[in-house]
Structures are given as structure tokens and as C-alpha cells.
Structure 1
Amino acid sequence: MDRSAISRVRSFNRLFTLRVGALNDSYLGRGRPLGLARLLFEVGPDGADLQDLRERLGLDSGYISRLLKTLTDDGLAVVEADLADRRRRRVELTKVGRAEWDAYDALSDDFARSMLQPLGERQRERLTAAMAEIELLLNAASITIALEPEDSEDAKRCVDAYFQELDRRFKNGFDPGNGGYAGDTKDRESRSWFLIARSDGQPVGCGALKALDATTGEIKRMWIAPDARGLGLSRRLLNELEGLAREAGMTRVRLDTNGTLKEAQALYRKAGYREIGRYNDNPYAELWFEKDLVTEGRETSAA
């Protein structure tokens, strides 16, 4: 990786933490460091599930427990069992905590204004546009992709969301029981695989690979959540599935798609897939594609 890029990131991080007051022990003058203030703000007026909080903020259970103890000792929050699921816990702000949340909310607006105020209109536009771009790319970089059992709850939710989208978009709807979709994809030994993409612990995409024969794999169930689109995740997920196929000794991968899914067709063509004739009996497929993994590997090595 380019050393100058690493240096630029480090320089930006130092400047940003300084400018936003991350080094102060009294963030926005309220007597608490940034970590504690951020946790209080994330709990919010509506409260929050403790596990969701931990995943959203990327905190280990011991550290978030210590932060919550400070908030509860200060009378700002309470931690109680979730009435809907006694195995889970919810964090709620007290009346005093909600007043602190309001104070942080107003001060955060004032702080943002103080950053923009010295700049001219064109500079403000450049700064906010750059911030939006950085936020987008940081979100993209934080997404993880990993093998998971297809029968897990998150996998089922992803696949259900995928099927619901197909049902909305296909002219005559979609029936998942009408054939043509990858079956169990539990692990490497079963010659089938299932990947889930996660952002802050939450599933935002999935994809399946199934061996058709010793040298051919089929990619199915490629789906990205609407709020995770535009981050380059589809290509990343496709690359991961192709990588699994190579590891399994496959020399080519195939896939099919419906004519209404124009963005999928564009993705496949850009990724080096070529259109072929029908290879399966999927009633919803209207286009079929194939990619030679051996040829691509040679081209990459030559480059």
C-alpha cells in the first residue's frame, strides 16, 4: 500500500481528533470525556438495546459496562431487562439524562456552526461535500464479509429481504419455491457456501456459492440492503464468492439474472462475465453469465 496514503490518513486523524475535542476530558464543556458523552447521546430519548449499542459503537462488553456504570451512578441512565425479551437489557435515560442529551444536542449544533462560520460559502460547500465523501468511504471500509451458516437468523432475514425485493420488482412477482435458487450453503465441506456482509454488526448483504460440478460453481442470492448500496459492496461480495470458488478448485463460475435487474447485469459485465446460453431451469432467469477464473487469474498475474 502507498506509504503516502497511510501518512495522509494518520495526519487527518490527528487533526480531526484535535479539532473535535476528542482529547479533552470535558467534551463540549459538560464535564465528561467524548466516549461517555457519545454513549449518552447514542442511548437517546427513546432508549436503546444494550447489545445494539455495543455493536453500533464497536465497544467490548467490559468497557461499555464501565461507561454505563458511570452514567447510572450519575443518575443519567438506568439499565433494565427488556420487557419483550427478558434475556436482553435496555438502557433508558432518566429525566436528568434527557436534559443532558438536549444540552449535548444543542451544543453539537453550535460546534458545527463554529467550524463552518469562518469559511466562505464555497469553502463550506467543499468541506461538507468532502465530509459526506469521507463518511461514505469510511462506511464502505468498515463493512466485513464472512462465511456464516445459511440457517442462521441473520442469513434468513437477508434471504427473506432478497426474495421480497424480487417479488416487488418482477413483473409477475416471485415465488421462492418455484425452483432455481441455491439450496443449503452451510460450509466449505458441503461444497456450498454462504456469505454475509455486516456493517456495525448488522447484516447488510449476502451471497451464496454452490458447486454445480467439480470445476463449476454457481453464484446465487446476491443481495445488498438499500441503505448499503453505492458503497461498492456488490463487487466486493462478488469477488469474495469468486475467491471461494478458486479455493475450492473451481475454474469457472456461472450465474443467472432476470431482465429487470439492470444494475446486476451491469455489475456482472463489468466484472468480466460473458453472456451464455441457458444452463439451468430457473423459471425467473432471462440472462445467463459465465466467468473463466483461470483466464482471469493469468491476466492478473501478468499485470
Structure 2
Amino acid sequence: MSEQVDGVRRFNRAVTQRLGVLQDRYLARDRPLGQARLLWEIGRSPGGVDVRDLRARMDLDSGYLSRLLRALESDGLVAVGTADGDGRLRTARVTPAGAAEYDELEARSEDAARALLDPLSDGQRERLVAAMAQVERLLLASLVRVDESRPDTPAAIFAAREYYAELAERFPDGFDPGIGGAVADPSITPPAGLLLVARLREETVGCGALTFQDGGFAEVKRVWVAPTARGLGLGRRIMAELEGRATAAGVRTLRLDTNSELTEAIALYRALGYREVERYNENPYAQHWFAKDL
């Protein structure tokens, strides 16, 4: 791990220096990177953007965001006001001067990107851009939090609805959460079971549950990853978290069932060492049953 940490720090130093973010005047303008990035986020939404959405999108402390907004307001680049007369909601919009500065930042950002690529050969450019895309995906994956949650929280309810909606769309005959594979909330509420919810910034992007059974068994339920978070390895992470918690609870064998339409899930379970077993329940939507000894 120590060598990996050293590698991350070395990469951070190289990137910050090469992109010029160490300078007080980002892209040779009269403002630091934080202000420039905030102006860009506001400027790309000409109709204005909710300040709360800005904070979530940029993952900024509310106090720091307020200071950045005040600085842009004092420069005449941004106007902050209430939304539709609701004093609780604040919206930030670029002024005409702010729109002009946004256009200038766009042009200079384009030039900076071209300057980064110009010295490289075609093959090097392709490798660099592909590596950047991979780094971006992995950085997003590192931002995901997976925590235990009660089934009656807004995030858990949202995840369940999205999961059931996807099953209804993918199954030829639809899906009724009131029967078959649906598991009642009490079954995934401690001590009967548990529920994990994954969040990327403020967005709910996944879930997975366990329900404990007699004989040293537990069943995996509700494993779902939002389309926006697929490709980040989140399904594997949720399964690993569930297996770890099952092991800590003294579970010896995990079981799960699934439908033939969920080909990605079936491939994941097999890759994680789950073996196909005989039917062990009466779920009308299940067509495959798997188990794994812990």
C-alpha cells in the first residue's frame, strides 16, 4: 500500500504542476482555480443553477462555496437571488460580464488542452486520453460511499423503486414487488437482516441487502447499481461488503436467486465464485439459484 500511496502523490504533483493549478491566476486570468471552476459550472447553465446543486456537484463546503460566490459577485460576474420568490432556494446566474468571462475561459481551456496534446504523437495522444478516461472512472469509484441504512430512509426507498422499475422493464412479463422475489423491509432490518446503500456525492447509485436465515445461511437480495454508476466496479464492491458483513455475523453460506434476463448479474456472481445450485425457494421470478461458502 505504501508504494501505491507514493504513486498517487507523485501523480498528483505532476498533474497539478502540468495543468497550472498551482498558480494564483488560473489560465492567466485574475482569479484562482476555485473561482474559475465555479464560474464555469454556473456559466454552462444559462438559466441559472440552484446553489444547493452547485454544492453537491462540486462537493464543496457551504461556507467555502459562499465565499467563492461572494468573490464572483463582487467582480460583477455572478448574480445570486431567490428562485421563483422562494427565499429558501437560491439561484446563481452569470451576468453579461460573467458570460463573456465564461467564453474566455472556455477558449483558454481549449487552448490549454491542445497545448498538452500537441507535443505528443498520435499514438501517445490516444494513450493519454484513454488513460485519463480510466483515471476519471477510478476517481469516481473512489468517491462512492457504501453505508448501512434503514429501508425506510428516502435513499433506500429511491433505490428500491429504481431496482423494481428496472426489473419490471427487463422481465418479459413485468415484475410485481409484492410477490416472488421481493423481500419485505422487516427482513432486511437488523437484526433480521441489513441493507447497504451506495451514494456518489448526493446521488443514490446502488444498494444490496442480506436477510439472515436458519442453519448458517443468509440470502443476498436487492443488488442494484444505477446506470450512471455502471462500469465503476460498484456491483463487486457491494457484494464484497455484503460478504464481509455476513462473515462477521457468523454466516457460513450465502445464497441468492436471479432471473435469466439479468445476464450481467449472473456473470458477476459466477466471477465471484458463486456456484449454481438446486432451487431452494418458490420465487416465481427466479430461474437460477446460486450459493457460496464463506
Q: Check whether TM > 0.5.
A: yes
Uncovered stretches (5+) of structure 1, i.e. residues with no partner: 294-303
Separation in structure 2 between the aligned mates of residue 94 and residue 190 of structure 1, nearest angstrom: 55
Tell me how far apart the structure 1 counterparts of residues 29 and 215 of structure 2 sit (CA, whole Å). Answer: 64
- Does structure 2 conserve the Cα–Cα contact (< 8 Å) formed by 1:185 and 1:193? no
Summarize deviations over 1:235-293 as a string: whole Å, max 9, x none. 10001111222222222221110011111111111112111222222110111111111
2:169 corresponds to: 168
Q: Does structure 2 conserve the Cα–Cα contact (< 8 Å) formed by 1:220 and 1:255?
A: yes
* 1:87-138 superposed Cα distances (whole Å, 9 cap, x missing partner): 4332222222222111111111111011111111111111111111111221
CA distance in 1, matches of 2:86, 2:212: 40
**Backbone CA RMSD of aligned residues:** 1.9
Secondary structure in 2 matching 1:189: coil
Which TM-score applies when normalising by structure 1? 0.90
Q: How far apart are 1:227 and its partner, in Å?
A: 2.1
Using the TM superposition, name which of 162-171 and 75-84 deviates more: 75-84
Deviation, structure 1 residue 85: 6.5
Q: 2:145 maps to what in 1?
A: 144
3-state secondary structure, aligned to 1:177: coil
2-side partners of 1:194 and 1:217: how far apart? 13
Structure 1 residue 151, shift from structure 2 partner: 1.7
TM-superposed CA distance for 1:55, in Å, is 2.2
* Deviation >6 Å, runs of 4+: none
Q: Give the Å deviation of 1:62.
A: 1.3
Cα offsets for 1:39-67 (capped at 9, x unmatched): 11112342322222222222111111111
The 1:129/1:143 distance shift into structure 2, 3 A limit, reads: same
- Structure 2 stretches lacking a partner, 5+ long: none
| Percent sequence identity over aligned pairs | 50
Partner of 2:249: 248
**Separation (CA, whole Å) in 2 of partners of 1:243 and 1:223:** 18
Map residues 228-243 of structure 1 onto 2, 5 A cutoff. Answer: 228-243=229-244
**Residue aligning to 1:96:** 97
Question: 207-216 vs 27-36, which deviates more?
Answer: 207-216
Distance in 1 (alpha carbons) for counterparts of 2:226 and 2:280: 28
Contact 1:167 1:174 in 2 (8 A): yes
TM-score under structure 2 length normalisation: 0.92
Alignment of 1:175-186 (within 5 A): 175-184=176-185
Q: Is the 8 A contact 2:192 2:211 kept in 1?
A: yes
Structure 2 Cα separation of the partners of residues 184 and 74 of structure 1 = 53
Q: How many residues align?
A: 292
Counterpart of 2:141 in structure 1: which amino acid? Answer: A
Asked if the contact 1:149–1:185 (Cα under 8 Å) also holds between the matched residues in 2, the reply is no
The answer to whether the 8 A contact 1:255-1:288 is kept is yes
Equivalent position of 1:202 in the other structure: 203
- How many angstroms apart in 2 are the aligned matches of 1:289 and 1:212? 15
